[in-house]
Structure 1
């Protein structure tokens, strides 16, 4: 299976010692610069996390449009947008406009969102589940409406008093092919199967809110296989895409060893919102050792796209060096090739 690789940034900023992103402007501008550097290194994707009420990236579309304007080949996307906070029709307009500006390179990850420090944040934004519904129900209903909007479904009606006739209206603009580049961020096997039935690609979360006692990569691989089975049962013609993300910190200089040590962390298991959950490990060490470990990672083998989280507060140069090491010395071990034709290249100008 031909692989694609990209980076995933949380876009943290803090005015603390050692931080290269002391302000929101630093975090935003450096994300654009890192996307440019990643494209030069041959990576395939630049992805951002979206968190509200945090000193992290929160409004993805201006940022993604800026990345699109400064790059030519690399995919740009999210992992993920919390749909509880969104107006689906306005979001459909923003997504289509961003995709058109970027020449059809948008890969938009959406989901129910992750645990937050804010209390009932979506309600502060003006959105709350209806009586008898959960936050997950709210996110799924908004996602279904968003999908309808970007597919050109008529969701409004003309005013006969102004037009002289009655007819349906879709939100504008529309961006051809965007509906095939929407991903669902899934933390369980069941939601992965739902994503397949909805026709969305799969972003398998680094936090799985279930635990069967097997290592994280095996549980994630099972989720991916169930997703693909559900996709086939739905009778869809195109091949879906599947991504996983990994925290990888190769040690090649003394500064790396000083910052991260020489050993990573194993899977972490605990209760999250009352549910026994499993969080993926962190890979730290010599590049050849990490390469061998990722080559044996069952979920990495199952996925076609691997996103690497970056410590963005260490600055563009530092992270570009990490990504360069991953591209040269680690990613080839699990099937990535810099000069290969990429999964999303066929439709690019």
Structure 2
């Protein structure tokens, strides 16, 4: 970010993919939870997990964060990000609210939209009957937001025998809506996030539109987001950075890092 757009860092967190060995998945998940505990002990403000479907990483961040909520007390718990193409917004709203309640209001839920990765190969398993009609646009995220904010999910309420029903998602966590984040990589998605009153997650994956310099691209997204957010310049932005340790890396490791960075350049600029 340019000097003109720089601001003091307010909070510092870290993100983990939560890798594990297929032969012993428990050990990897336990290591992730211990890392979160250590992060709290070291004084980090937040700890975040990434979503990995059909891979050897965290496929159920909500379950992992539910466990983390009982092993930590202060550190904020985040998802960066949950791809909504894999999710039912109503069920996800219930899960997110439950974890937020369990954690005492420490959940930061980051989401994004778009078709699931390798959708043509997974559609028969994920949406066997509705693949051609599923909506992967911002409308899916809007449905999730509305449900988390307490809008009606049903027209059934009151008692039916001994069962009591609610029109809105339960449990309802009033503060969660202010901790909803959107992972944006373009000007249009940054604008949409601002218009919805969400917080903005930005990282190294951005779309070059009005500029080719990475810092200028990212700054344009942040400015667009804040220009359309009800809170204006006070709207929250999180900048994700990839830290590559080169001080103790071997020559072959540095070569791999450099090759990987060159491969990603077209995506980020």
TM-score normalised per structure 2: 0.82
Give me the whole-angstrom Cα distance separating, in 2, the residues matched to 1:202 and 1:153: 23
Q: Could you say which structure has the greater relative contact order, defined with CA pairs below 8 angstroms and 6 or more residues apart?
A: 1
Query: Is the 2:14–2:48 Cα contact (8 Å) retained in structure 1?
Result: yes
Counterpart of 1:45 in structure 2 is 46
Counterpart of 1:222 in structure 2 is 220
Aligned residues: 254
Among 134, 138, 144, the alignment partner of 1:146 is 144
Give me the whole-angstrom Cα distance separating, in 2, the residues matched to 1:33 and 1:129: 41
Cα separation, partners in 2 of 1:2 and 1:224, compared to 1, 3 Å: same
CA deviations on 1:21-47 (whole Å, 9 max, x unpaired) are: x63222211111101111111111111
Considering fraction of residues, name the structure with more strand.
Answer: 1
Report matched runs for 1:236-251 at 5 Å. Answer: 236=231, 239-251=234-246
Q: What's the CA shift for 1:74?
A: 0.7
Determine helix, strand or coil for the equivalent of 1:184.
Answer: strand
Counterpart of 1:198 in structure 2 is 196
Query: Is the 1:186–1:202 Cα contact (8 Å) retained in structure 2?
Result: yes
Give me the whole-angstrom Cα distance separating, in 2, the residues matched to 1:9 and 1:241: 21
CA deviations on 1:195-232 (whole Å, 9 max, x unpaired) are: 1111111111421133555232221111111111111x
Counterpart of 1:107 in structure 2 is 108
Q: What's the CA shift for 1:69?
A: 0.8
Determine helix, strand or coil for the equivalent of 2:58.
Answer: coil
Q: What's the CA shift for 1:159?
A: 6.8
Query: Is the 1:104–1:178 Cα contact (8 Å) retained in structure 2?
Result: yes
Cα separation, partners in 2 of 1:161 and 1:264, compared to 1, 3 Å: closer
Q: What's the CA shift for 1:186?
A: 0.6
Query: Is the 1:82–1:139 Cα contact (8 Å) retained in structure 2?
Result: no
Counterpart of 2:254 in structure 1 is 261
Give me the whole-angstrom Cα distance separating, in 1, the residues matched to 2:192 and 2:139: 12
CA deviations on 1:91-131 (whole Å, 9 max, x unpaired) are: 1111111001001000000002587356353553125353x
Cα separation, partners in 2 of 1:161 and 1:262, compared to 1, 3 Å: closer
Q: Does 1:8 align with 2:15?
A: yes
Give me the whole-angstrom Cα distance separating, in 1, the residues matched to 2:252 and 2:65: 30
Counterpart of 2:174 in structure 1 is 176
Counterpart of 1:328 in structure 2 is none
Query: Is the 1:184–1:202 Cα contact (8 Å) retained in structure 2?
Result: yes
Counterpart of 1:33 in structure 2 is 34
Query: Is the 2:181–2:200 Cα contact (8 Å) retained in structure 1?
Result: yes
Q: What's the CA shift for 1:241?
A: 1.2
Give me the whole-angstrom Cα distance separating, in 2, the residues matched to 1:239 and 1:212: 24
Query: Is the 1:152–1:170 Cα contact (8 Å) retained in structure 2?
Result: yes
Query: Is the 1:53–1:118 Cα contact (8 Å) retained in structure 2?
Result: no
CA deviations on 1:257-296 (whole Å, 9 max, x unpaired) are: 46743996457333xxxxxx326xxxxxxxxxxxxxxxxx
Q: What's the CA shift for 1:246?
A: 1.0
TM-score normalised per structure 1: 0.65
Give me the whole-angstrom Cα distance separating, in 1, the residues matched to 2:70 and 2:211: 45
Q: Does 1:119 align with 2:120?
A: yes
Determine helix, strand or coil for the equivalent of 2:120.
Answer: coil
Counterpart of 2:186 in structure 1 is 188
CA deviations on 1:298-328 (whole Å, 9 max, x unpaired) are: xxxxxxxxxxxxxxxxxxxxxxxxxxxxxxx
